[in-house]
Amino acid sequence: MAKERKFQISLKPDWRYLTFVTGPEEEKMNSKFENSFKEQGFTKPTLIQEQVYEPLKEGKSVLGLAPTGSGKTLAYLLPLLEQVDKAQGVQLVIVAPSQELAAQITEVARQWAKLVDLTVLSLIGGANVKRQIEKLKKAPEVVIGTPGRMLELAENKKLKLHNVKAFVFDEADDLLTEQTLVACRSLLNHAPGIVQLAFFSATKSDIFDQLHQWFGTEVEVFDVRAEDQTQGEVEHFLVETPVRKRIDTLRKLSNLEKFSALVFFKKVTEIENAADKLKYLGVKVAVLEGQQRQVEREKALRQLRKGEISLLLTTDVAARGLDIVGLPAVINYDLPKDSNTYIHRVGRTGRMGASGIVINLGNDHDLRNFRQLVQSENYELHFGTVYRGALLRVEEIPDEVRESQLSKSKTEPVQRKKKKIVSPVIVEKKKHKKRKRDRLNKGKRHKKENQ
Ligand code: ADP
Ligand code: MG
């Protein structure tokens, strides 16, 4: 039986109405799409959806820049699907940088494509290529995948691109780097000379100023990053944690009520190690990283989506595009190396009006460097700590406790006082001491069995 979702989505009260500048564009949209839009509760398009709809429908090439979680997928899908004809071969190609993102876009595209009787095929690396070749014989109109696998299939003449009308590069600044840039351009060589191009992202890179040189097409830019207001309230915490205490901080965080998070690591080796330790401590965790088999990756993400685990330990493979509706938190176990990476990682929470928290772990030195790194993005960063089962801003902790903490060694446990805490951000679950002990023992038994 499916488990009940552990966390709730919190939305701004009038979130759907915050994003739109003008009235509904209903008369322009295919009526089936329009009905489905309403059924999903999407009464109006978001700003990026509104701005690129007409140009994409007219066949123009565009670059769409809009914040994480602002509805870019439908911004390109709906107008481009409207141009696709039934049984005329592959006409729309969507490229994404990760298997999970390509799978997610496929799922969304299928919902809308079936309304107009079109077939969507996912061509992701890691999945069974023979099955993909079989399905290609059934002549899908839309293909969505990762660049390497799509190029391989195009070169083997299994994926025929001569009828393609439009290409979408989602998370384009990420895709258009190094080998994936080469793969994307090679893929385009299998398509007709004139093809519509659409690039989307929440962040810019230099290549966006040279799209004409690289792709030989004029690209119209729609940048709504400053105006879009779809993002919910996101609180960014700096939690000072010595390196050796990070696992323990993760454990404490995982005990907060209605809490689940994506946890970003720098190194895959460290993830495995952390997962073992956390499991031993009774924390429900899963791992998502590039070296795993596709089924394992899928399972891990599904577990997070269903609320079956509280922590999904991952790398930047999960930083881009993933839409885990209502995800309460993102944790940076290792701080990101640049501000764009931070933008994408934290963009997994606080999407489309939902609120969220971001927890950055590091020692004093790391956090100081990190502040400088993201300075230009104007995030409000607050020092926070897990105190009596709640994640609080340091200034919310009673003065006398804070002072006593300051005078003690940082590694000592926080002194408990009976004083009531006001406005906790998140309240810890009730502890079931006995159960926890049982779990620990089980962990020990399990470890022994595996030795
Ligand atoms: P982005 O690609 O900009 O990060 P997504 O396309 O993943 O964002 O969309 C984020 C979420 O917003 C999805 O869950 C999607 O279903 C929802 N969404 C899309 N369009 C609208 C809309 N017009 N109104 C409300 N929610 C929407
Ligand atoms: Mg997206």
214, pLDDT greater than 60: yes
For atom 2 of ligand 1, the residue with the nearest CA is 72
pLDDT of residue 405: 60
How do the domains of the chain map onto residue ranges?
Answer: 46-223, 234-397
At 3-39, the pLDDT tens digits run 333 333 333 333 333 333 334 444 468 899 999 999 9
- Per this entry, what is the length of the chain? 451
Element (H, E) at 387: strand 381-387
Q: For residue range 369-404, list pLDDT tens digits in order.
A: 999 999 999 899 999 999 888 999 998 888 777 766
Indicate the SS3 state at residue 171. coil
Position 363 pLDDT exceeds 90:
yes
Q: Using one digit for the tens of pLDDT, what is the confidence trace for 80-128?
A: 999 999 999 999 999 999 999 999 999 999 999 999 999 999 999 999 9
pLDDT in tens, 149-200: 999 999 999 999 999 999 999 999 999 999 999 999 999 999 999 999 999 9
Cβ-based burial of 276 (10 A; exposed 0-12, middle 13-18, buried ≥19): middle
What is the distance in A from the centroid of ligand 1 to the CA of 158?
Answer: 33
Distance, in Å, from the CA atom of 96 to the CA atom of 102, rounded to the nearest integer, reads: 5
pLDDT range class, residue 333, cuts 50, 70, 90: very high
Give SS3 for 252: helix
Q: What average pLDDT does this structure show over 227-249?
A: 96
Q: What is the pLDDT of residue 401?
A: 74
Give the number of other CB atoms < 10 A from CB of residue 447: 12
Decide whether any atom of ligand 1 lies within 6 Å of the 68 Cβ.
yes
Give me the mean pLDDT over the 220-228 stretch.
Answer: 97
* pLDDT band (50, 70, 90) for residue 437: very low
Shortest-distance atom of ligand 1 to CA 46:
23
CB atoms under 10 Å from CB of 279, counted, come to 16
pLDDT score at 404: 63
Which candidate, 403, 385, 401, places its Cα nearest to that of 393?
Answer: 385
Closest listed ligand to the CA of 37: 1
pLDDT score at 43: 81
The pLDDT value recorded for residue 398 is 81
CATH entry 3.90.180.10 includes domain 46-223: no
Decide if 46-223 and 234-397 have a common fold: yes
3-state DSSP assignment of residue 311: strand
The pair of structure tokens assigned to 147 is 């660049």
Neighbours of ion ligand 2 (CB under 5 A): 72, 321
Of residues 340, 331, 327, 337, the one with CA closest to residue 274: 331
Q: Using an 8 Å Cβ cutoff, are 7 and 227 in contact?
A: no
Fold of 234-397: Rossmann fold (3.40.50)
Q: How much is the pLDDT for 237?
A: 97
% of the chain with per-residue pLDDT over 90: 78
